Every structure is written in structure tokens, then in C-alpha cells.
Amino acid sequence: MTRDQSTKQRTDRHRGLRAAAACAGVAIAFATLTAVSPAVSPSEAVTAPASNGHPGHPTRLSLPVPSGRQQVGEVDLHLVDSSRPDPWQTDQDHRELMVSVYYPATHTAGGSPAPYMLPRAAAHFDSVTANGYLQMGVPTGQFDWASTLTHAVQGAPVADRNRQRPVLIYSPGLGEPRTWGTTLVTDLASRGYVVVTVDNTYESPEVQFPDGSLATLSMPADPETFIDKALAVRVTDTGFVLDQLTRLNAGQNPDADGRRLPSGLPGALDLSEVGMFGHSMGGTAAALAMDADPRISAGIDMDGNLTDYNGALMPVAEHGLAGPLLLLGKDGSTDTGPGWDAFRAHTPGWTRQLTLRGSEHASFTDAEALVPQLHLPVATRTDDIGTIDPATAIRTDEAYVSAYFDHWLRGRSGRLLDGPSPRYPAMEFVDRRQRPLDSGTAGLRDASWLP
């Protein structure tokens, strides 16, 4: 095959994957997917450029300070599932994942802040992901993603070590690394949650492993098959991660490299109170994982569709969920409509649909905090994060996500979810006639609450 034939074949795949992304509720572009590095095994080292190549000094970006009362700690875990081969790489007889655990911490003074991205992952994000998947239009080397720091301290001791805390799983959108939800994740940890972010290897754009190797997105041959398979893999990966968290909580170290766990982390997880949330395809995965795994008792779908590649309802939209699921969507027309409408009509459990006024698809990610720092044209910025004030979007999102999990996992009132609030005027309630929060999670459907 000639170079031109190969490029044309990949371009045809891009067009199909773009359509698949729209069906999955993923507002990302794959026009430059030809630039994606070939998939690399975690056991193979990939050398990142020594320099970003920018003639000046690349700009270090900043993330909002978490709004909760507690400091935040962070640890990365390398998890290996030896019970199954990798679903994307047939020559690998086991599945490897990287996850990050964020938690309330103490004794953080003088500790090292966790980097936003590891060096090789950052180099790939800068050269490929930012402009290929996320369409940010940023010249390579202009921003220093590796030196950008989070508000979490690596390996800090767990605060109140005799206290167990609810656990949340975060699933990113298609084409987004697990770090792309750090603002919301660290905020939830500062409010007392243990939050675990998951990279689904070879579907995530870049995953750096402890040995320095990098795994990148596997090129999909067929968009429809890719979306279906990716969602199924995410559900299985989520179950495996919960299994490993159970081991960790019992005092075992699930890290494949045996790295030391933060003091107080074993035993600090309340795995009887588990929630899951995600953006775009990660939101879809949260709904599917809730349907498949009874350990997940509450979920949030942030602008992720519940219809498949061909527009047919997913099973979870056809029969709903017994447990609570919050649907949090962008403003304006959206592909999520048919699936969300069906889910709300069919679900026997509590549900609510909210719209963040003035937002766009990426408003529920770190794009809301980072895009304003990239000095993009106004039209590009608006396409990415809408017209809502970024600080308002972040504050509103954090308030509603935390209120939701506070109610369902901690038993707090959560009245913010019962109707519009003058404190957060940007959040619109799509249907105020649905059940109030105190109606229970699995009661029989009451027709008076349906649209």
C-alpha cells in the first residue's frame, strides 16, 4: 500500500469515527487522527521530545483551587488484570490500566504537587491530542502541560484516617485523558470523597506507565464496532478497578510495581457507598456500569448519549435504572435528547435532567478552566466552552455534582436538586415535575411525576 492509499484509508476511518463520536455524545473532532502515534505496549518505551521546541518559555497553566475545606492528596496506581487479555492488543495476555486516586489529605505542607500530566503523556497531548481530538487550535510547544500542577499533593497521608469515605469513579470522554476532569475531581476530594480517575488503555489518547512507556489510541477499523466495544470495555474495566479498590481497602497493595501507598489509605474507602460520573462517552459508561454492577449506587451522565451508533436506544434507556442517575447537559440542541427522554420515561428510580445555560459540550471538563488561558480566537473559545462565564460554569457544576452525591451517598438533604436556585441561576431544570429527592431510590413509578 502506498503512503497516499494509507492516508486515504485512515481519512475514511476518521469520517466514520466523527459520526460515531456524535452518536456517542462526544463533541470532539478526529480530522487530524492521522497524526496519532501507533499503539504502543506499556512495556515498550516511547521517548518524548527533550524540548517542546517553542522559541520562548512555554506557559504553565493553572487550575482553580478546590472549594472544599480539606487538602487533597493523590497517588497513581498501575493495575494489571491477569484474568483477561487486552481487548485492543491481541498480543498482550493481560489488561493494564493507570488510575489516579484523589482523597482528603493532611500534612501537605512542603509536599510535591501532583503534575497535571506526566512528561511523555504531556508531549503527546501537546503534539496530537490538544489539536487532533480536542480541536483547541494551539501551536505545539506554546504551553507546558507537564509543568502545570494540580492542587493535590503526591502521597500525602490521608486525613482522619479512622474515617471511611464514599468512593467516586470518574470516566473521561472519548479522546480525553483521565486528567481532563481534574478540576471537578480535586474539588470533590476536598469535600471528603475518595475519587478514582480511570484511563482506558488504547482508547485513551495517551497513557504513561511507571516504566516511562506510553500507550496511545488504537486506530478503529469500524466506528460502530469501536464505540460498542469501547463502552463494553469501560464497563469491564470499571468492575476490575472496583475489585482492586476492595483489595486496597483490605490492606493489600494492588499496584503492579509495589509502590508505597499513602499512609491511611487502606481502610479509608467506604465501598458500600460508590458513585460514578463521567463526561460524554464517560457519562454513557457511568449509566451502563450502574446497570451492570450493583456496587455502583448513584451516577451522573454529563452530556453523554444513551443511543447507539445507529440512533437506537441503549438497553439502559429502554428499561431505566432502579438507582438514581443525574443527567447534566449542555445548552442548546443536543444529540442526547432521544436517549435521555426515553431513559426518563422508563426509569423506575430517581432521575433529573439539568441544563447548564450558555455551556458547550466541553464545559463539564477542564476545558472550562484551561481554554480561557490559551488565548484562542473568540469563536474557537465559544465553540469549546460556550458563552457562560468560566468561573460561573465551574462553580455551578461543582455545586450540583457535590449536592447530588452528598444526598445519595451521604444522606444529606441535597435540596439543591429539587428546583432552581437563585444562587445558581445558570442551572436550568428541564422538568420540575419529577420526583423530589426524598422519594427513595427504587420506589415504584408514579405516573404523576412523569413528563
| Residue pLDDT, tens place only, 316-335 | 999 999 999 999 999 987 87
Pairing assessment for the beta strands 351-356 and 325-329 based on DSSP bridges = parallel
- CA neighbours within 13 Å on the CB side: how many for 283? 29
- For range 208-233, the mean pLDDT: 91
Q: Which three cell numbers stand for residue 194?
A: 475518595
pLDDT bracket for residue 342 (50, 70, 90) = very high
Mean pLDDT, range 379-395, rounded to an integer: 96
51-87 pLDDT, tens per residue?
A: 333 446 889 999 999 999 999 999 999 999 999 999 9
**Closest to 25 measured CA to CA, from 268, 300, 334:** 334
Of 85, 87, 114, 81, nearest to 241 (Cα)? 81
Of the candidates 446, 373, 390, 399, which has an alpha carbon nearest to the alpha carbon of residue 138?
Answer: 373
Question: 119 vs 51, 147, 206, 367, CA distance in Å?
Answer: 10, 8, 11, 20
Q: Cα separation of 105 and 34, whole Å?
A: 42
Report pLDDT for 442.
Answer: 31
Is 55 in a helix, a strand, or coil? coil
As assigned by CATH, the class of the 3-449 domain is: alpha beta
pLDDT category at 182 given cuts 50, 70, 90 is very high
Percent of the chain scoring above 70 in pLDDT: 83
pLDDT averaged over every residue in the chain: 85
Domain parsing of the chain, residue ranges: 3-449
pTM of the model: 0.87
